[in-house]
Structures are given as C-alpha cells and as structure tokens.
Structure 1
Amino acid sequence: MHRRDFLSSSAKAGVAWSALPLLTSLQRTEKYKLALVGSGWWGMNILRCALKHGACKLVAIADVDTRQSAKAMEEINKLTSDKPRVYRDYRELLQKERPEIVIVATPDHWHPLITIAAIEQGAHVYVEKPISHTILEGYAMVSAARKYGKTVQVGTHRRVSPHNISGMDFLRSGKAGKIGMVRAFVHYPGGAGKPVPDQETPKEIDWDMWCGPAPMKAYNPAIHPKGFRNFLDYANGTLGDWGIHWMDQILWWTEEKHPRKVYSSGARHIKQDNTDAPDTQNVVFEFESFTATWEHRTYAGNEAEKSNIGAYFYGTEGTFHMGWLDGWTFYPSDKNKQIIHRDPQLDLPDQQNIAGLWSNFIESIEKKQRPVCDIEIGQRSTNMSLLGMLSYKLGRSVEWDGQKIVKDDAANALLKRAYRGSGSTPYKKQKGCTPKDAAFLSIPKIDITL
C-alpha cells in the first residue's frame, strides 16, 4: 500500500470510529438503568458520553463527598430529564436501585470491590483504569466477570482513538521493521512542592468510607480531591496512573501476554510534599522477543525534548512514536524516505475518546461479546504497572510467569494486601480520624486466591 493510500484508509477508519457515539441501541427498546459511583472530574467525563449516547437512563449516583455529588447534580439536571437519586454509600445504591450498568470512577483502591459488588448484583460495569490496587484483585475482577457472564469495559480509551488504531496497523504491517525495544515515558513539569497540614474532616465527606479498605489516614486536602494518585496507600503513582495507558499500547502491539522479568528503580529526588510516590522512576520489562522500558519524572518540564509523553518503538526500518496530543510519527532509518505523520482526533473536554469506548461497551453488551477494552485486557495492562511498582517497593528484580512471581515468597506476599476491618489487620483509631467501629466488615468478600 502506498503512503497516500495508507493515510487515506486510516482517515476513513478514524471517521468510522468518530461516528460510534451516534449509534443507538441495536436490539433493546427500553433504556438500561445506569448508575454512577464516583461523581468527580473523570466520572462526569464518562457520564456525559453515556447520556449523550442515549441507551441509558440515569437512576442514581453515589459519592462519599456531597460537595462532589451536588456539583454533579447541577450539571446532570441540565443534561437530562432523568431524575437520579443521590447516595453516599454504593452498597445502598446497588441494593435499592438494582442498576443494569454501573460506572466505577472512584479512586483506584475502591475499583475492585465496587466492580465485583456490581457484577454480583447483576450489572455490567465500565471501570476506570487502573482496574485495581493490587495484582490479585485484578484476577478476582476477571473471575467475577466470567462467572456471572457480565461485560466489563476498562477506560483505556486509546484503544478506540483513531490515531492509535492507525498507528497499531502501521506497526503490525511491518513498516517499522522488527521491533527490538519500546521506550514508554511521561515527563511533566513540577517542583518540590511543600507539605500541606492535615485538617479536620469537612462535614460534607464521609472520610472513613473514602479510605474504605485502605489504611485510615487523617483527612488532608492534598489527597482529596484528585491528589490521591501519588499516595501509595490509595494508588500507584505516575506508573499506576499514566503508565497503564502506555503499558496497554505495548501489550496491544505485541502478541506476548506479559513480561517475564521486571526491574524498577525509583526515588524522591525532588518532591518535599506529603506524597510518597516516586518522582523519578525507571522500569525495565524483559519480554521474550523485545525489551520495554518506562521512565517518568514529575519535574523539570522543558522544550528540549521533542515529546514529553508516549512510547517510542525502535525497529530495524525506523523509529515510531505513538503520542497523545501530537498523534503518531514514523521516522525512517533511510534519510531519503519521508517522515510519516498522523494527527490525533480527540474529544473534549480533556482530549479523550470516551464516546467511542462507551459505544463499543453498549454494543458488546447487546451482542454478548467481549468489548475492545475487556477486563482481562485491562488486567494485563494494569499488571505491568503494578509489577513495576512491586519491584520498586522490593528494591530488586522479579520474575513473572503470568500468574505469580517465581520463587520469591516476599514478592508474592505483595500481590495482595489486607483490607482494613477484614480481621487480618488491626483497625486502629488514629489521630484526627473518627472511624466507625468495624465499618468494613460488610465489604463484599472477594476470592483473590489463584
């Protein structure tokens, strides 16, 4: 195929994907009963697309912070004539509303429990990435989806982004030659920051419930809202946030399901704030046929580097950069050949492609088929990030056979963690906190035994 023909066909594919949000329900005449759990920034991004698609009726939202749910309801009342009820506890929502579809857009540490509870109640689920805080939680989520026959879509929306699709077609066509190395990275500006003191918990938020199965800490505005991703009790830092998108691109391209060896080094060279995630991290993932690396820093933003985010695929015919706001570009090794570029096609706000992913989700439910970002795909991509963080915490490399870490009991112990209130970890009242006694004994039990 000539370059002009290739770009023309890629553009047509992009148009097809951009039309996906216009699809309506293929078989069903009644709208699906939809619930949103987590009504903050990204939860509302997903909900806007869900409502615009038209296949669902919003029956309820849940958020432990009434400031967020009140703000969400102001917008919802402008977007739809639906009259959703508002809850603080997702368990009450599931019991009373019996939704058919649930959006899970909470902080990371709540994703597994809410997803599994929704599946067991009978709902299909759209869950944000990363799917879990620990590796065995991810396996439990896949197991629940398969056991109950439910469709679970993960929010790795780059799988439906037109330039990512055409870029993968380019790589798989062999035009970049044999790929021996992939370098994924995120470099963002920032500084040292400064500590933010703990505060009295605002009356609008149930902080005990926000912490949920994770360790209870005093309320701090640096954690909520939005800041939780750099607190390792609740998320897995930049690698667990941005990294999963690029781990997913690597696994989308290769036929290999997982790395066989992982080594990470990282540190907090610059940050002096409350967070505890590394501000500098490098990870090496050894696959059978290639090596992948991850690197990030959260400081020293500059114009010296051509791209600050994405993945470079290094092949015998040239170097291919899969980017975000800058689309993709192929740089041939032969200087006599032209550079090939494809612009991105992204939706607003926040330059994403949720609408196409939501359409694929609804179509997959109706056709009873696996969605493009099926829970098992999301679990593998999340695993890569979590293995990198696990190696960082251990301070040594780990060998992974696809199910467990080879001959390393200490490392395998980090594949899960004890939930607060589960009986395996003392539930202590800490200064500045007002936890309810045994608050989470009623959390759904999940099987995280391989």
Structure 2
Amino acid sequence: MIAAAAVSSLATGPREPRLSAQQATPTTPNDTIRHAVIGCRIRGRVHASQFGRQNGVEIAYVCDPDRVLAEELAETVEKDQGRRPMVVQDLRVIFDDSHVDTVSIATPNHWHALAAIWAMQSGKHVYVEKPVTHTVCEGRRMVQVAQKTGRLCQAGTQNRSSGALAAAAAYLRDGKLGDVTFARTIIYGQRSSIGPRGIYEVPEQIDYNLFLGPAANEPLTRPRLHYDWHWNWNTGNGELGNNNIHYIDICRWIMGLSGLGNLVLSVGGRLGYEDAGETPNTQLVVHQFETKTIVQEVRGLKTDPFSSIFQAGSIIHGTEGFLAGSSLFDPDGNLVQTFEGPSENHFVNFVEAVRNGRREELNADILEGHLSSALCHVGNLSYRLGTNRPPQEIADQLEDYGLHDEVAQTFDRMVNHLRDNEIDLDATQLTLGPLLSIDSDQERFTDSSEANVLLSREYRTPFVVPEAHEL
C-alpha cells in the first residue's frame, strides 16, 4: 500500500530535488548505508550481492518492472542479509524515500541516464552500469547533475579498479612503450539469431510502460523481452555498448585520451541471418584523436581468435612493443612481462568514496564513463547513417580517407571472415557510414546535421532527461 501511494504521488515524475547537496547529511564511517538496486536481472543480482556483503550496507529496496524478477531477488537478499528489502516496480518510489542513501542502476541502457539523474536530484549517490548512457547528450547531463548536486556517481567500468592495468598505464605514461599512435579493441563472440520480427505479447508480470520509460512507445517486436533489448536501437547500443565499452575505456585510460576525438567512421552489418535485431553483429569503428587512432572491432559470427596469444580485449601499440590487456610484448610478439598491482573491488571503492565524501576517490567518475560510452555512441551513429556498398567500394573509400594502415587491414580481415561464414557480400552488402568530423569540446559533429539529431532522442513524458538549462 505504501508503494502504491508513492507511485500515485509521482505520476508526473520526480519533483525538483528533494534534498539539495547542502541539505544532505553526509554519510559517516559508522552510518548504515541504505542501498537500492534498480534492475534485478543479471547485473542487478551482482549488485545486490556485492553491496549486500559490505559491512554497514543494507539492501533496502529492489526494483524492476518485472515483478517476478524483483521478488526473486528480494528472496535472495533476504536469505543473505536476514531482512527482506522493499519490492517495487516503479523506481520513483525509491527516489521519493529520503532514507535511501545510494542506488545502483542495472536497467537496460535507455534508463541509465534518467534513473541516475533522478536519483542524484533526490539526494542519492549513484553507481550506474555501463554504458552509462543511451545517447551522447545524456552523459553530459549526468556530469552536470553530479556537479550541481554534489552527489557521487560511479560508472560500472570495473577495469578502472584493476591494479595490473593501473601499472600498465603508469608504464606507458613513463614513455617506456615509445611513440603510441594505434590501439584496437576486440570483441569476438558468436551470437545467434534472436528470432523473427513480429508483434509479441508482453508477459503479464511486466509493467511495459515502466520498462520503456524514456524510450519510444514501440510494441515488443522480438520473442524475448529481456536481454535482447541490447540489439534494438530504441533501448540498446549493440555490442559496442554491451561489451566493447570496457575495452575502449581501457584504451582511453591507458593512453590518456580525453574527449571524443576529431573523426569517427563505422563499417558493418547484421549478417548471417534475418531476425528482429537492428544493431550490427559485425562492425569496425575508427576513432581518430589527431595523431592517434583506435579501431573497435566486433564479430558476432563464428570466428577464430584474434591471435594465438590474445583472443579479446584491448591492444595498445607503441614503437617499443605493445600492451595486450595487462601484459607487455616486444615488437616481435614475445612476452616481456605481465603487470601486477593491488586491485580494488569496484563496488567497495564506490561505498568508501561515499563514506568519505570524496569524488576524487572514485576510480570511475561519471565523466570518464560518459566519454567512453560516447565513443561507442558516435561509432554507432556513423553506422546508422551509412549506405550499403560492395566490399571493393568500401576498401577504395577507406584508402581515399588516408586513415591508419591498420584500418584497411582490419577491413580486409572482416571481409575474409564474412566470406568464411559463406556471406555473399554482393547480395547482402555491408554498410559504410560517413566519416564524421567532431568538435570534441562541444560534443557535436561539425559536418552532419543528421548525426547531431541522433546525439539525443525524443523522450516520453514524464520520462524526460532534462536539458542543461533545466537543471
């Protein structure tokens, strides 16, 4: 009854911040932190476990539009902590409870930004899963709200808490890798069809309006609601946003890159089957940061590993060798050393920063999460604005652009990989996106009004991410 009454009072979304940064009572080392988990499936279960096992943290709420998932997680939490958390379908109930100190967001991508913004505006600190946003503009709003409210916001890019990677970053900063001009990220993992496109019934235990939230009011067009939202533009960001976000974030961190670069281009397609998915299962994205280039590569069909020594992740090349993950190799590919260093639990890092009230203690502040997520988004924007072309035309165009030599070589490998999977690239052509120029300071494209439109999206009232002047 309490939850129902709260939902009724929130019919038009959260009011203005209920608790300003100045009014908020700091959490001291001896306080119990009352935590809410929003999103109760794969990552949400991890959140509940990781936060619940920390001393002085109580899981006070679990929330999911799917009430069955929420009840299941509540049962698990009750067994672990000896107290059953409140179960709600509407996340606004949590934001209206001033006794909640922190929230973690493990919803589908399209909810990440608005949930985090509403939470911070209601006085709560936030841990939000990757990618932290669904669009580029959402990330900048999250950064601005964190600054305005004084709330801490940690991105779920947990590699930032790796001691080994921190040691690798220090090695590169010391200049020991030589001149670093190229890096690549690799996600090779076979994914099958998600089923034919159609109109499907939403399971009765799910509040579909709350599931959609900020997204367009589209019917369910795939057999499975959960997880397969990743492959629909209305709610997901494809494999770039699903997994590759981790590795582009590592590249940015270790190479010391800020901003969105000055150029981006994507090539790819959804190949090998026809299904309800929209995002590419095969993709190459090129990011140029003046003299440095990063290539993101995705393969979702059957494939051999990238190499005998490295199957997936990030590779950063210098004149003195290369870093593959946390290992250093000489220019000939011989292992030199594997870095080591003290790691932190990413969830513990967030809680300790909250207790200390020190944003600088966060290993993955929202600004870093925003920039890495945005690189995935601009890559997808190029793809979405692309045209179908035969392989040779694409190869010729890439050569005309004068990009890093590894770009053409990576494309050649992509073509051979697709032909190994018996894809007829004349009958089912790849999509070549435009080479888009970026004003990194403004986080806008300088040469495409179409691309600039896709930096944001239309929201459904009342699930609206505020503009900067509305904060």
Q: Name the TM-score class by shorter chain.
A: 0.7 to 0.9
CA distance in 1, matches of 2:301, 2:307: 14
CA distance in 2, matches of 1:67, 1:419: 27
The equivalent residue for 2:159 is 158
The equivalent residue for 2:458 is 418
Give the counterpart letter for 2:377 in structure 1: L
Question: Which digits, 9 at most, give the CA deviation of each residue in 1:32-56, with x for residues without a partner?
Answer: 1211111111011022111111232
The equivalent residue for 1:301 is 303
Classify 1:304/1:408 alpha carbon distance in 2 versus 1 (closer, same or farther; 3 Å): closer
What pairs with 1:240-255 in structure 2 (closer than 5 Å)?
A: 240-255=241-256
Give the counterpart letter for 2:121 in structure 1: E
CA distance in 2, matches of 1:76, 1:361: 20
CA distance in 2, matches of 1:128, 1:269: 28
8 Å contact kept, 2:194–2:277: no
CA distance in 2, matches of 1:410, 1:378: 25
Q: Is 2:268 the partner of 1:286?
A: no
**Aligned pair partner of 2:463 in 423, 443, 450:** 443
What pairs with 1:43-62 in structure 2 (closer than 5 Å)?
A: 43-62=44-63
* Residue 161 of structure 1: how far off its partner (Å): 2.0
* Residue 191 of structure 1: how far off its partner (Å): 4.2
CA distance in 2, matches of 1:303, 1:138: 33
Give the counterpart letter for 2:338 in structure 1: H
The equivalent residue for 2:33 is 32
What pairs with 1:270-281 in structure 2 (closer than 5 Å)?
A: 270-281=272-283
Classify 1:190/1:200 alpha carbon distance in 2 versus 1 (closer, same or farther; 3 Å): closer
Corresponding residue SS for 2:215:
coil
8 Å contact kept, 1:60–1:97: no
* Residue 192 of structure 1: how far off its partner (Å): 5.0
**Aligned pair partner of 1:398 in 420, 425, 436:** 436
The equivalent residue for 1:427 is none
The equivalent residue for 1:361 is 350
* Residue 417 of structure 1: how far off its partner (Å): 0.7
CA distance in 2, matches of 1:200, 1:115: 29
Question: Which digits, 9 at most, give the CA deviation of each residue in 1:180-211, with x for residues without a partner?
Answer: 21011111123456426543221111112111
The equivalent residue for 1:381 is 372
Corresponding residue SS for 1:416:
coil
Classify 1:249/1:394 alpha carbon distance in 2 versus 1 (closer, same or farther; 3 Å): same
Question: Which digits, 9 at most, give the CA deviation of each residue in 1:393-441, with x for residues without a partner?
Answer: 1221211122211143222111111113xxxxxxxxxxxxxxxxxxxx3
State how many pairs are aligned: 392
Q: Is 2:333 the partner of 1:331?
A: no
Give the counterpart letter for 2:457 in structure 1: R
What pairs with 1:8-407 in structure 2 (closer than 5 Å)?
A: 27-96=28-97, 98-191=99-192, 194-195=195-196, 198-219=199-220, 222-258=223-259, 259-303=261-305, 305-306=307-308, 307-322=310-325, 328-333=326-331, 339-342=336-339, 356-370=345-359, 371-395=362-386, 396-402=434-440, 403=442, 404-407=444-447
TM-score, reference length from structure 2: 0.78
Percent identity between the aligned chains? Answer: 28
* Residue 214 of structure 1: how far off its partner (Å): 0.9
TM-score, reference length from structure 1: 0.81
Corresponding residue SS for 1:33:
strand
8 Å contact kept, 2:37–2:47: no
8 Å contact kept, 2:167–2:341: no
Gaps of 5+ in 2: 1-25, 387-433
8 Å contact kept, 1:188–1:308: no
Give the counterpart letter for 2:336 in structure 1: I
8 Å contact kept, 1:279–1:296: yes
The equivalent residue for 1:433 is none
The answer to which of 277-286 and 166-175 deviates more is 166-175
Gaps of 5+ in 1: 1-24, 323-327, 346-352, 421-440
8 Å contact kept, 2:186–2:312: yes
Give the counterpart letter for 1:356 in structure 2: N
8 Å contact kept, 2:75–2:84: no
Give the counterpart letter for 2:327 in structure 1: T
CA distance in 2, matches of 1:392, 1:40: 29
Corresponding residue SS for 2:75:
helix
